[in-house]
A and B are shown apart, each in its own frame.
Chain A
Amino acid sequence: MAQVPVQTIHRDPQLFYWILFPITIVMILTGILRHYATVLMSSAPKPLDLRSTREQRSLLHGISLRSNFHALSRRSFHTRRDVVITAYESGAYLKDPDRKGQPPANPMTDPSSMDGMMGMMKNQMAMIIPNTLIMSWINAFFSGYVIMKLPFPLTIKFKSMLQAGVGTKDMDPRWMSSISWYFLCMFGLQSVFNFLLGNDNAASQMAQQMGQMGPQAPQMFGPGVDPNKQFLAEAENLAVIEHHSVLDGVEQRLLEGIRI
């Protein structure tokens, strides 16, 4: 079988200086700019008021009682359980007990949750605007020719993405145009930003997107969650616990475990 001849294309070395470098530098600078824009735009989290702190921490208290009941003796666990379940079911810990049983307020009208939404909006905007600008800049200036060859083979599917604007049918998809260099930079600059700005930077949008894609933990105290339902569920969880204690038979364990 005949070898497929290796395609070679003579490129002007100036391409390297005038396309690869500028794109990389622009990407890095945009990342840094985005980081500081996010820092400047972010508002300090609003301190919780007394009632909502109470609501949240009471629920957490019940949860820790449920998970660590084994440290208690049976009697003291039962006493606590009765107290907690009664309080949960009567809604004593609710932020506003009058609203018990009503559907949760529309998160859009709640000013405290609006803050969170605004923050998310700002972040999204800080991501979308620069990306759109840079992409159109690259498309306007640098489209229509290839600039480098990837060191690894790719399937034909990548052709339309990597060689956007290059109308050559049988060119190896390893040849890529400037827009694909842009994509590589976008995905690959995370470590550079970590180096420049520290670990918790807001420069790269990739981390945030990953966070959105991952399995989302059930939101505990967010807007739109009915605390009364949470309390009732927790009361039910507590009620079904079969009590056992670490103190059961601890003397025997000790006598067997420790040799003099």
Chain B
Amino acid sequence: MAPSLIRSPVQLPPAEALTLSQQAPAILQSSPSTVSSSALSSLFSAAEKPELWIQYENLILSCLRTGDDRAAQECLNRLVARFGNNDRVMALGGLIKEAQAQNNGELETILKEYDQMLEQNNANLPIMKRRIALLRSMGRLSDAGSALVQLLDFSPTDSEAWSELSDLYFSQGLYPQAIYAMEEVLILAPNAWNVRNATVKQSKPYANGSSQVHARLGELQYMAATASGVINGSYQKQMAEAIKRFSRSIELCDDYLRGYYGLKLVTKRLLKDNTKPAGKVDDEDFTLPDSSTIERLNELATAKLAEIVRHSSAQDRGWKGYDAAEVAAARELLSEDAPSGIER
């Protein structure tokens, strides 16, 4: 899909972000520098479109990524001229300042500014999120975590914040908490087409958000299960849920590389362990499927992964859009399996 300024540029690879930000001068020139919001002039001039403002916002993000601070500032000026200082524009302004900051001291001053803004209006969500992101990028993880928990206490329907919290916990190695937060995302957006989620990479352009969340949960369960290194009741339970999550993610999105990769990883591990499913312990938890099912799942995942790797390295029609790194990882996983190496 061609990069477009209407969609949010969160998940764009660098090259596409560059092409977007190179359009900046043309866009800034072609649109009028001020759009009056008064009633009278809107009778005579062309109507303003909401797309224009989304375009400016996304242009700011792309330009900041590629270092074009001047164009970003110009976009911001136009947004301020139209909307004044509302929450969202304030957050964008903060973002630009953060990007231009040279050292830690400047970041500290920006953090203080955020605190002041929040004192004036303590329900200012965009600024709150900026503050959390800033804390995180400054390495103050526990502060960021507690601020996020505070945010989620009064706004528990914010899936973006939940997924950020999950990622934060994950980076600190707190798997059960990370799983809990990710499950919240799933509750809020069970069928979402696109969860705004920077941590979950799209390995297929049209993989929908929910299948990503399922796969992510599967990964978290797998890591939680394998992290302790002890094979016990919770290990089996978590592996069982990991299998189910990966299966669900594939069910939601055919040929989802990440889902198959995870499925293969988990089933391989289980086959190696040769664990027998424990007798029915608790009605509450999932139990592992029997070993023949695991074997069949493993075969399915292997075959599908091989197919995806083959087609996408041959650049076949309809198989483009996989992330190159992920395809490489899948190839490696497959070659571990078969020492002779697979055909390209």
- Whether A2 sits at the interface, judged by CB under 8 Å, is no
Q: Which residues of B contact A36 (CB under 8 A)?
A: 39
Write the nearest CB–CB distance from A129 to chain B, whole angstroms. Answer: 19
| Interface 0/1 of B136-168, CB less than 8 Å to A | 000000000000000001111110000000000
Q: Which residue of B lies closest to A51 (CB)?
A: B154
Q: Which residue of B lies closest to A58 (CB)?
A: B156
Interface hub of A50, A250, A252 (most chain B Cβ within 10 A)? A250
* Docked-complex contact B251 and A253, CB < 8 angstroms: yes
- Whether A246 sits at the interface, judged by CB under 8 Å, is yes
Known contacts: A50-B123, A78-B284. The answer to whether A57 contacts B156 by CB under 8 A is yes
Docked Cα-Cα span, A53 to B187, in Å, equals: 19
Q: Which residues of A contact B188 (CB under 8 A)?
A: 61, 64, 68
* Docked-complex contact B284 and A74, CB < 8 angstroms: yes
Write the nearest CB–CB distance from B21 to chain A, whole angstroms. Answer: 32
Dominant SS at the A interface?
Answer: helix
Q: Which residues of A contact B187 (CB under 8 A)?
A: 64-65, 68-69, 71-72
* Docked-complex contact B284 and A60, CB < 8 angstroms: no
* Docked-complex contact B251 and A254, CB < 8 angstroms: yes
262-316 of chain B: CB within 8 A of chain A: 283-286, 289, 293, 296-297, 299-300, 303-304, 307
| Interface 0/1 of A51-79, CB less than 8 Å to B | 10110011011001100111111111010
| Interface 0/1 of A215-251, CB less than 8 Å to B | 0000000000000000000000000000000110011
Interface hub of B183, B285, B307 (most chain A Cβ within 10 A)? B183
Write the nearest CB–CB distance from B249 to chain A, whole angstroms. Answer: 10
* Docked-complex contact A72 and B186, CB < 8 angstroms: yes
Docked Cα-Cα span, A68 to B289, in Å, equals: 25
Docked Cα-Cα span, A51 to B250, in Å, equals: 41
- Whether B241 sits at the interface, judged by CB under 8 Å, is yes
- Whether B325 sits at the interface, judged by CB under 8 Å, is no
- Whether A213 sits at the interface, judged by CB under 8 Å, is no
* Docked-complex contact A198 and B286, CB < 8 angstroms: no
* Docked-complex contact B154 and A257, CB < 8 angstroms: no
Q: Which residue of A lies closest to B39 (CB)?
A: A36
Q: Which residues of A contact B251 (CB under 8 A)?
A: 250, 253-254, 257
Instruction: Mark A residues whose CB is within 8 Å of B.
Output: 36, 39-40, 47-51, 53-54, 57-58, 60-61, 64-65, 68-76, 78, 198, 246-247, 250-255, 257-258, 260
Q: Can you name 26 A-B residue pairings with CB atoms under 8 Å? A: A40-B39, A49-B122, A51-B154, A53-B155, A54-B153, A57-B155, A61-B157, A61-B188, A64-B188, A69-B187, A71-B190, A72-B183, A73-B241, A73-B285, A76-B183, A78-B284, A198-B47, A247-B286, A250-B247, A251-B293, A251-B297, A253-B247, A254-B247, A254-B297, A258-B254, A258-B304
